[in-house]
Structure 1
């Protein structure tokens, strides 16, 4: 098995339950979770996938929701969301990392467990949910799926762009003469704008995808479906989707919002199909303008781009995806994220007096939790670059501060300016636990001058 510092890593992979993992048709988040899970298993990593019971995986599958709630409207969504999430956190101590792909709700469980939680933010549905992300900003880890979709109010451990199963998409250098819209039918996705573009360009348009907004479909899409120039194929299977992508002259992605990523765009490029997209959100990170497609700002510009689509090398579209959006690259990136998290959260068991854990670290400050075992004693020391504030969480101790000795209990706090001599000794039969906040221009563990140490580390 793959290991991290000699130990096998155990990942709890929390997938949404709107669709199965992988999805039968639509389900972009579930699709990414599936590709990542299977990629990690191939590397020998121990993964437990929490998903719907009809999901398929080489990992260990754990499910409480029998079917996707989008496919079975009898399922009470909130009940099964709560049951699904609670299964992960009630088993938290079995895992080294919980990887959350289920939006903001699992974050509200994160402070109840010691296992670090990393959340891939696939999309923030509303700024009203941002308060949840902000509350857990300093106690969990966030991954963005594009640089464009980073929220300035949050901190991120990395950007990991999605990968796709490139070999699952057939490259086609001799497409048919139609344009394609394939996504959920919704105003955000620009279905109506795709229709307008096709009409202005005088091209056939095939539309595929499930109807996410029935009123929008009836008013803005259905009146233009004539089954000659504008054709709606319905909610198609994965096989039909790949066929449509491979044979299309170009994909129209006329979004009306700042999209976080856009898996369909990458899938089209993998098929050799150029993409004409509104220049919003992550699109400049996916499409090389005038090389693998066109970034436009209006329906009129999109219609003009259709006329120039022959200038795009379909081979280059495929090669670009092979280089930048493979599953292997995505898995590599996430393994680096896991390594970073484990390094930040690990206990330093080499300390003879006990152990510590870094809770947060930013330029200028570091927050640690320190546990001093019974009879344990931190060395008499001072720091040249940082001052410290200690807050006693539990236990009893004696703090040395220059020549003074102070008895401390839970709720007490002590401050140490730069270069002040200090130490603490546990005088109880229970662990002494305290929070240390360090501030200064250098916070490395080697900024310690030991003056006296019972373990011989002077």
Structure 2
């Protein structure tokens, strides 16, 4: 499990990606699954923790971010053979390592910060696996193996049927998140607004937020810890989520509803997948509509808000969904047979012919052999090999092919630094794997 290192896993305060990684990791461990978590050294987990980054780089600005990102990502891929699956939550950079290993890589795309990063995702599309966190946030340029919506630890949130009279903004303080718009809603309705979250854009905060703070109607609580956050959510009359972008999910929305608190949100991104309009909150298109929705909050059952989360956004449901993803990936990447030199996978087996792929590890080689009943045709997909054919040696690269008639003595060796992958088409009156006469073998199988 490859977690980001901007914050610890789980985060001390802010860190939505790290929070989901923690919940998923602990949920998998409870199911008896062997998980190694790659995260910051101050992280906490029941899994095996592996860390090269001593602390989150967002908490220590003296750390060179790229240095620790490089060290962190390389650790998991250097140990790839130890794992059945690598689950990447660290955005696009780990994808650049993915084809250097045989272990399948699945990436949960928590967010796409800019279309400028899409070339990386496109390059590794169909070479790795992608999971979306909402249907709304799928990119048309990419293929996905599943949508898995986040889950939360519902029991850790305090359900409250009798809230106080304040509205709440709870997120990072940035234009995207609409804190200024939330202030406008509070002003229009005459309600108190309590604001909590870290300042992600100082200039925006100083211009659009700070001038309105009076510690009476508009109050900034600061960057709050998890316990204070839960208290704020539980006691709030409603959560305002006035976003200015297509948000992929919104953990705070689910946490609010788990506390019984309805949500008024701009109808963008994944909001319709989270909020049931008129039942667990309201989907609106402007500040004026949000102000009108505040007046209708009395029609919302706080109990139904909680029940909706229990039914749709539990950790157990999220863990179940990811286990199904892992099982699907393992089936798709199933190795039919392992050998000392690598492994092969049968694509098609019909009377008279068989098609399979063979992967030979660096410095690996199949035995010097011949077949009495079948001929073979090899087509190289990737890597660099040296084919021995009746005493002659032929260097092969991607796109090269070699024909091996019945009874021809042959062998192939991986002479490159990456896996050698080739397709084999066998044809004959008998194509069983025991039709092999080994003449020489470095693994002692003659």
Q: Is TM > 0.5 for Structure 1 vs Structure 2?
A: yes
Q: d(CA) in 1 for partners of 2:165 and 2:3?
A: 38
Name 1:441's counterpart in structure 2: none
2:367 is equivalent to residue 345 of structure 1: no
- Normalising by structure 1, we get a TM-score of 0.82
2:220 is equivalent to residue 232 of structure 1: yes
Which deviates more, 181-190 or 71-80?
71-80
Are 1:180 and 1:244, in contact at CA under 8 Å, matched by a contact in 2?
A: yes
2:377 is equivalent to residue 391 of structure 1: no
Are 1:373 and 1:431, in contact at CA under 8 Å, matched by a contact in 2?
A: no
Name 2:207's counterpart in structure 1: 219
* Structure 2 SS opposite 1:105: coil
The verdict on how the C-alpha distance between 1:96 and 1:454 changes in structure 2, with shifts beyond 3 A counting, is closer
The verdict on how the C-alpha distance between 1:434 and 1:85 changes in structure 2, with shifts beyond 3 A counting, is closer
Match of 1:82 among 66, 70, 77: 70
- Normalising by structure 2, we get a TM-score of 0.85
Are 1:345 and 1:358, in contact at CA under 8 Å, matched by a contact in 2?
A: no
The verdict on how the C-alpha distance between 1:79 and 1:202 changes in structure 2, with shifts beyond 3 A counting, is same
Q: Shift in Å at residue 83 of structure 1?
A: 1.2
Q: Shift in Å at residue 282 of structure 1?
A: 0.5
Q: Which runs of 5+ in 2 are unaligned?
A: 348-354, 436-446
1:32-66 Cα distance to aligned partner (Å, 9 max, x none): 00001100111111111111111111111111111
2:57 is equivalent to residue 57 of structure 1: no
Q: d(CA) in 1 for partners of 2:215 and 2:335?
A: 64
Name 1:435's counterpart in structure 2: 422
1:143-175 Cα distance to aligned partner (Å, 9 max, x none): 111111111111111111110000000111111
* Structure 1 SS opposite 2:121: helix
Are 1:96 and 1:116, in contact at CA under 8 Å, matched by a contact in 2?
A: yes
Name 1:410's counterpart in structure 2: 396
The verdict on how the C-alpha distance between 1:346 and 1:379 changes in structure 2, with shifts beyond 3 A counting, is farther
2:427 is equivalent to residue 452 of structure 1: no
The verdict on how the C-alpha distance between 1:429 and 1:297 changes in structure 2, with shifts beyond 3 A counting, is closer
Q: d(CA) in 2 for partners of 1:135 and 1:283?
A: 30
Name 1:267's counterpart in structure 2: 255
Are 1:379 and 1:454, in contact at CA under 8 Å, matched by a contact in 2?
A: no
Q: d(CA) in 2 for partners of 1:158 and 1:139?
A: 15
Name 1:114's counterpart in structure 2: 102
Which deviates more, 300-309 or 136-145?
136-145
The verdict on how the C-alpha distance between 1:232 and 1:188 changes in structure 2, with shifts beyond 3 A counting, is same
Q: d(CA) in 2 for partners of 1:455 and 1:437?
A: 13
2:314 is equivalent to residue 336 of structure 1: no
Q: Shift in Å at residue 410 of structure 1?
A: 1.7
Q: RMSD across aligned C-alpha pairs, in angstroms?
A: 3.2
2:289 is equivalent to residue 311 of structure 1: no
Q: d(CA) in 1 for partners of 2:148 and 2:408?
A: 44
Are 1:14 and 1:100, in contact at CA under 8 Å, matched by a contact in 2?
A: yes
Name 2:266's counterpart in structure 1: 278
The verdict on how the C-alpha distance between 1:216 and 1:114 changes in structure 2, with shifts beyond 3 A counting, is same
The verdict on how the C-alpha distance between 1:429 and 1:52 changes in structure 2, with shifts beyond 3 A counting, is closer
Q: d(CA) in 2 for partners of 1:170 and 1:435?
A: 57
Are 1:183 and 1:209, in contact at CA under 8 Å, matched by a contact in 2?
A: yes
2:77 is equivalent to residue 99 of structure 1: no
> How many residue pairs end up in the alignment?
415
Q: Shift in Å at residue 347 of structure 1?
A: 1.1
Name 1:31's counterpart in structure 2: 19
The verdict on how the C-alpha distance between 1:358 and 1:141 changes in structure 2, with shifts beyond 3 A counting, is farther
2:170 is equivalent to residue 182 of structure 1: yes
Q: d(CA) in 1 for partners of 2:130 and 2:370?
A: 36
Q: d(CA) in 1 for partners of 2:122 and 2:373?
A: 37
